[in-house]
Amino acid sequence: MGRTGGSQEDAEKKQQMEEMRHNMLYQILDTNARERLGRIQMVKADKARAVEDLLIRMAQTNQLRGKVTEQQLIDLLGQINQQETTSTQTRIVYNRRHYDDSDDEFDL
């Protein structure tokens, strides 16, 4: 019985956290940037969440001067994409084995 109350409490806390997050993003982003982030969220929810996390951290550490515009959001997305491609870039390394087929030892 106490378990259901706890999970309901957890759900309420989670809902409150999401609401706080939404309000903070509303204060951080201008209208066009919010719309773009919403479109990104429809396609790539995990990437949108990562961008939201980054924006919230930047706001909490006073790295933002005023509301983030759509162009600033695009630039931020570009930086994130660049970091992801360099960190997940696939490298193929060929280890060629050299066999000594010379018959020098036998003087044939």
Indicate the burial class of 21 (C-beta count within 10 angstroms; 0-12, 13-18, 19 or more): middle
Domain ranges of the chain: 2-87
pLDDT digits (tens, 9 = 90+) for 59-77: 899 888 889 999 999 998 8
pTM above 0.95, yes or no: no
Residues in the chain: 108
Helix H or strand E segment including 79: helix 70-87
pLDDT digits (tens, 9 = 90+) for 1-59: 445 567 888 899 999 998 998 999 999 999 999 999 999 999 999 889 989 999 999 98
Classify domain 2-87 by CATH number. Answer: 1.10.8.140
